[in-house]
Amino acid sequence: ALPVMIMLSGQPAEPSSVITAGHLVETLDAFAAKNHGLAPIVVVPDQLSADAHNPMCVDGALGNSATYITTDVVDYMTSHFHVATGPRAWAIGGFSQGGTCSIQFASARPDLFSTFIDVSGELGPSIGDEKTTIDQGFAGNRAAYEAAQPQAIMAAHGPYEDTAAFFAVGATDGRYGQIMTANSAAAAKAGMTVTRYVSPGSGHDWTTATNGFAHGIGQFYPRLGLSATVQTP
């Protein structure tokens, strides 16, 4: 039985972007070569439904993205593959919008995910300005919008007993660097074990995603039961 990692693209993008631009297969092959062929089972689902669409990883008028990831994808993986059980065996990660989804899901469902990788994620779910986001994504319900923000989720569900969080950002990405600082500080305050990584010389781009995925996966190899020590990319 092997652990599972759910990896998510940014938006606009498609699942294949994680494989091609994010170099995920090369990263996993390198870690497997160092660890007796062991690697997690990785699934890259489409949380968007279309490249430019953004249901914001909640259930709402724009799509039931939360149910799709945390129920449909999880049920498919457990019924089709020999997967390990328990939250320690499940991790979720992503870049940009996918990073936002990762902190949303892991914060809200510590019973399912005990590990997440947030590379250049947003402060919270958004499709533009706040009014548009609330009107179109939350049917005008401000309370639902506020409750869906990662920092609100962490405040509501903390303190966390066994959640490990990996945050990454590009060194030249000032906007998302500030967001990473804020969300990672909130995660630490909520009791999560937090690791931060800054990708040298890159911005809000797939170089940051590639480096962030590699360092995050390496950080969590022991936690996933795949290695006795933290791995370097």
Tokens 């911005």 belong to 203
Decide if pLDDT at 49 tops 90.
no
Supply 200's token pair: 């040298």
Spatial separation of the C-alpha atoms in residues 99 and 122, rounded to whole Å: 7
- CA-based nearest residue to 12, from 50, 48, 62, 52: 52
Query: What pLDDT is stored for residue 50 in this prediction?
Result: 84
User: For the chain, what is the mean pLDDT?
Assistant: 96
Q: Are 105 and 113 in contact (CB under 8 A)?
A: yes
pLDDT tens, position by position, 123-173: 999 998 999 999 999 999 999 999 999 999 999 999 999 999 999 999 999
Spatial separation of the C-alpha atoms in residues 44 and 82, rounded to whole Å: 17
pLDDT tens, position by position, 169-196: 999 999 999 999 999 999 999 999 999 9
Q: Which domains does the chain have, with CATH numbers?
A: 4-220 (3.40.50.1820)
pTM score, whole prediction: 0.97
Q: Are 4 and 77 in contact (CB under 8 A)?
A: yes
